[in-house]
Amino acid sequence: MATIRLGDKAPNFTAETSTGTINFYDYLGNSWGILFSHPADFTPVCTTELGTAAKFKDEFDKRNVKIIALSVDGKQSHNNWIKDINEVENTTVNFPIIADEDRKVSDLYDMIHPNADDTLTVRSVYIIAPDKTVKLILTYPASTGRNFHELLRVIDSLQLTAYHKVATPANWKNGEDVVVSPAITTEEAKSIFKKEVRELKPYLRYTADPTA
């Protein structure tokens, strides 16, 4: 198992899921992707996470993002658990959950951290661009549920900075001012961006969200 780092090609795989056999690249097509693991079926935090992810479908669709979850439990277990998630979270799980009983995908993506737990996957998140490069990796422990608003915020930043010479400052949210990429001079920035470029320091220049 090779370590996966930002900028690497996300490894492809074929796996059994709650919705049938899936080839990861075929499933993603030209979309952005979020591959996220959770420790086990029928556990409280995971139930809230998958219910929340289902309720964010419209937000993921708006951003051209397809999501796919994973745990090391089997397909029958996933499908039984999905009924509980739908009931208690008042939603319909609308994405596949990989049934990684042989840990093929977990090992490929280094989702089992033996010093945390020998067998269960940690809460990993891989965000993958349409060209299949890995753009973001998060790792949370089993006891801490993830913040799906943060995942949308990161997707907004990744999509904005992929196409414009900007970066997003601390706590940035979609539509707020951005910083000019260090790769361009203030003079260049003034000619590229329609809105004012404010230079606080030669290396810290703000401008409005160029898409707003």
Q: How far is the CB of 84 from ligand BEZ (least distance, A)?
A: 13
- Confirm or reject binding of residue 125 to ligand BEZ (CB under 6 A): no
4 makes contact with ligand BEZ (CB under 6 A): no
Q: How many CB atoms lie within 10 A of CB 142?
A: 17
Is position 84 an interface residue for ligand BEZ (rule: CB under 6 A)?
Answer: no
Type and span of the H or E element at 127: strand 123-128
Q: ∠88-93-157 over CA atoms, to 5°?
A: 110
Residue from 45, 136, 137, 154 in contact with ligand BEZ (CB under 6 A)? 45
Shortest distance, position 127 Cβ to ligand BEZ, whole Å:
21
Shortest reach from residue 194's CB to ligand BEZ, in Å = 47
Select from 37-45, 108-116, 149-157, 199-207 the region that touches ligand BEZ (CB under 6 A).
37-45
Q: Of 142 and 208, which has the nearer Cβ to ligand BEZ?
A: 142
Report the residue number, 60 or 140, with the smaller CB distance to ligand BEZ. Answer: 140
Distance CA 153, CA 28 (A): 20
Which of 17, 33, 39, 135 contacts ligand BEZ by CB under 6 A? 39
Question: What SS3 state is found at 79?
Answer: helix
DSSP 10: P
Least Å distance, CB 144 to ligand BEZ, is 9
- Residue 98: closest CA among 89, 113, 109, 90: 109
Q: Tell me whether residue 3 or residue 144 sits nearer to ligand BEZ (CB atom).
A: 144
Taking CB under 6 A as the rule, does residue 96 contact ligand BEZ?
no
Q: CB of residue 40 vs ligand BEZ: minimum separation in angstroms?
A: 6
Q: Which long-range contacts (CB under 8 A, 24 or more apart) does 101-106 make?
A: 101/72, 101/73, 101/74, 103/72, 104/13, 104/15, 105/13, 105/15, 105/70, 106/37, 106/70, 106/72
Is 43 a residue that touches ligand BEZ (CB under 6 A)? yes
Is 52 a residue that touches ligand BEZ (CB under 6 A)?
no
Distant-in-sequence, close-in-space partners of 54: CB < 8 Å, separation ≥ 6: 85, 89, 91, 92, 93, 94, 95
Active site residues: 46
Residues binding ligand BEZ (CB under 6 A):
39-40, 43-46, 142-143
